[in-house]
Amino acid sequence: MADVSAQFDKISDKAKTATDNIKSANQSTREKLDADVARARVKASEAADQFKDKAGTAREKTSSQWQEMRGKWQAHVAKVRADAKKKKHQLDVHEAARDANEAEAYAQDAIDFAASAIDEAEYAVLEAIAARANAVALSS
């Protein structure tokens, strides 16, 4: 069961790296910030694709509600990114401020979703550990 525990450890490592990147972004030049955003977008897209592939492989074993939520989240992310790309070209100051507010609200939603996913992942790991312990106990 150390395997899922080790996987869970990766969550805090990723969160720490993301926190460090966000803190340093506040001191970045516009060009570096744009490059960081592009790099983060590629990384997030790759992670979403990998997540989608894994979800497809394990589809029979997972609940349909969880699959539905994943699909809705992926569709939501795609829509927000498409909307953000369109809005990036707008020059009006008031619209730019509104876009910033929307981007901040989206960031908060993503953070809330991630926190909820961490809680769910913790539950799933603990449940897996308990199920393995039960299987070992029953086989003795």
Place of tokens 């909820």: 116
Looking at residue 140, what is its pLDDT?
84
Please write the tens of the pLDDT for every residue from 32-56.
888 888 888 788 778 777 777 666 6
Looking at residue 97, what is its pLDDT?
86
Q: What residues does each domain of the chain span?
A: 2-139
**Is residue 105 within a helix (H) or strand (E), and if so which, with residue range?**
helix 93-139
Query: Which residues, 6 or more positions from 33, have their beta carbon under 8 angstroms from its beta carbon?
Result: 25
Give the span between the Cα atoms of 10 and 114, in whole angstroms: 13
Looking at residue 34, what is its pLDDT?
81
Residue 61 is given by DSSP the state: G
Kindly give the parts of the chain with pLDDT less than 50: none
